[in-house]
Chain A
Amino acid sequence: MTKPLKIVIPMAGFGSRLRPLTWSKPKPLVSLAGGTVLDQLLNMFRSVPDFEQSEFVFILGPTMGEQIREHVARHYPDFHVDFAVQPEMKGQSDAFWQAREYLHGPMLMAFSDTLIGNDFSFIGNESQSVAFVKPVPDPRRFGVAEVDQNHQVLRLIEKPQEIKNNLAVVGCYYFEEAENLISAIEEQIKRNISLKNEFFLADAINIMLERGLKMRTEMVDVWLDAGTSEALLETNRYLLEHGQDNAASVTNLEDTVIIPPVNIHPTARINTSVIGPHVSLGEGAVVNDSTIRDSIIGSGTHITASLLEGSLIGHHANVTGQSGRFNIGDNSWAVR
């Protein structure tokens, strides 16, 4: 490729389905499998050709964007990241429109709660645009790609009424020329093709297809969602089972059983407990006399004499003498 690949991640949404965790942080910074959702997302792009040369464009919302800038500065100081801000929630296409000054040449994009298990190395030899799709049993609550017999996309259809076409678009696209997308969005905004005051990307892509864009589908095997608490726990389980487990390297344990897969931060301290399977334990977490499975525990959180499963616990929380399934945000406590 002559121009560097742009990897674009719109992350302006409020993450309201992940409350209470997202009251205090943007969705990309919610903890997941030993990192954050954003860390896992960036990880999935590592197979793109010349990954180190790629230029990231993060589109932030009007609030809490500062936290994402700080996270990037701290954890990815060597990455080339440009930030754009979407001041109003006017939809996906508007997000790209706000970032248009950074969008040139080949562009890969994924929404911030979409994780897929694909190898992106083919992009180096790709000669057309690509929509990543996954066949689903019931496509009626998704957007789908209508294709011809050569897997060429004819158009995108939002929430189809019939189920014969089941290729759901997962929210990840490759565009050969970002400029073409921006020009289609310009037309979309001019013609006010919107739904409930939001400009959807699918409509801009349909404009590109009408103009003769060549776009093929690429099948996705693994499509993980991090948009709801149930989906986040499921994605946590998957990632721990596929490479993020660090049970073998865990030390600092006293009278404790670890049931892999787990991801336990090296600074976490655990005493007289059973941890796992499918537990992520954050930096500086302290667990005593507890059993935890299938849960994500934030950094600095103390769990004492508790039995937790299926739980999302934020940072600096305290749970003592409790049992059950918890979904509580940063600085919460429940103490017996």
Chain B
Amino acid sequence: MEKPIKILIPMGGFGSRLRPLTWSRPKPLVSLAGKTVIDFVLEMFKTVPDVESSEFIFSVNAQVEPQIREHMAQHYPDWKVQFPIDTVMRGQSDALWQAKEHLNGPLLIVFSDTIIENDFSCLADETADGVVWVKPVPDPRRFGVTLLDEEGWISELIEKPEDMSNNLAVVGCYYFKDAAAILSAVEEQIEQQLFLKGEFYLADAINILLRRGLKMRVEKVDVWLDSGTPESLLETNRYLLEHGFDNSSKLTPAENTVIIPPVFIHPTAQVQQSVIGPDVSVGENVILQSCLVRESIIGPGSNLKSCRLEDSLIGHNVSLKGQTGRANMGDNSCAVQ
């Protein structure tokens, strides 16, 4: 390839399905398996050809921009990242349009709550005009799907199909050989006002491209992890801990504590007289005293005493004492028996 691939991640959404965690932080910065959601999204680009030269474009709204910028400066100081502000929030295509000055040459677009297991090195020799990543699903009716012609090229994207005959669900990851093509399709989409409930969907712009005769193929993935709801975030946490992000073997044995792998426990966390795991992420400087915790994410700075929690999402700097059950609590919450 002549030019390094640009990687666009639209992150302008409000993350309302992940409230209360997203009242205080954008969805990409929600805690997951010892890091944050965006860290795992970025992790998956390691196989992109010549990724060191790639420029990242994070389409953000003005409210979340400072937090995301700070996270990148702290954890990825050497990365080239642009932060175009999506001022109007009119959907995926519009996010692309607002970022247009940064987009040229080969372009990868990934939505900020999509994590897939995929080897992007194939893009070095890509001959198609575009690639849409898909996963076969048992019931495609709540997804967008790709329709293929006899030769296997994509003929159309269909949102929420009514029948089950086509089960290749679109996962939210796209490659375009030339950003100018998709931008021109978005321009036509906006001109024609092709939107749904006030939002311009990328699928409609891609359909314009397909009608213009562009050749796009599908790439199948086996693992597609979603982190858009509390349930899917916990499930993704479980998957990641089971697939390489467990750190239980590196932990120094804590006082009177049993660790049931897989877990991620930050080295600065203090755990005493507790049973932690399986599938638990414990953030920086957390204190757990006399707790039983499984299948949960405990955010940095939280302090839990005498709690029995499962399937719980606990934000940053939460203080809990004597609580039992499942909880979903945002930053700075407090519950004391």
Give A contacts to B, CB under 8 Å.
Answer: 19-20, 23-24, 63, 314, 320-336
Contact = CB atoms under 8 A, between A and B. Distances in A.
B63 A23 contact: no
Nearest to A319: B335
A330 B334 contact: no
A334 B329 contact: yes
A328 B331 CA distance: 9
Interface stretch (B40-48, B216-224, B269-277, B318-326): B318-326
B323 A334 contact: yes
Interface string B14-26: 0000011001100
Contacts of A329: 20, 23, 329-330, 333
Interface string B125-149: 0000000000000000000000000
B63 A332 contact: no
B36 interface: no
Given A63-B63, A322-B325, A335-B326, A20 B331 contact: yes
Contact of B19 (A326, A330, A335): A330
Contacts of A321: 324-325
Q: How large is the interface on B (under 10, 10 to 19, 20 to 34, 35 or more residues)?
A: 20 to 34
Given A332-B20, A332-B329, A324 B63 contact: no
* Nearest 4 pairs of A and B residues by beta carbon: A336-B325, A23-B23, A324-B337, A331-B19
A335 B309 CA distance: 10
A335 B328 CA distance: 9
A328 B320 CA distance: 11
B336 interface: yes
A328 B335 CA distance: 8
A205 to B, nearest CB: 34
A20 B336 contact: no
A327 B333 contact: yes
Most chain A beta carbons < 10 A, residue from B19, B322, B329: B329
Given A324-B336, A324-B337, A334 B330 contact: no
B327 A20 contact: no
Interface in B171-227: none
16 contacts: A19-B332, A20-B23, A20-B330, A24-B19, A63-B63, A322-B325, A324-B335, A324-B337, A325-B334, A326-B335, A328-B330, A328-B334, A329-B333, A331-B328, A333-B328, A333-B329
A332 B337 contact: no
A329 B20 CA distance: 7
Contacts of A336: 324-326
B325 A331 contact: no
A23 B24 contact: yes
A328 B329 CA distance: 7
Given A325-B336, A331-B19, A23 B328 contact: no
Given A20-B315, A329-B23, A331-B328, 8 more contacts: A19-B332, A314-B20, A326-B335, A332-B329, A332-B330, A333-B326, A333-B329, A334-B326
A314 B324 CA distance: 20
Contacts of B333: 20, 326-329, 332
A331 B324 CA distance: 19
Contact of B332 (A20, A63, A333): A20
B327 A333 contact: yes
A241 B334 CA distance: 27
Contacts of B335: 322, 324-328, 334
A323 B63 CA distance: 36
Contact of B20 (A20, A320, A324, A335): A20
B331 A331 contact: no
Nearest to A327: B334
Contacts of B327: 332-335
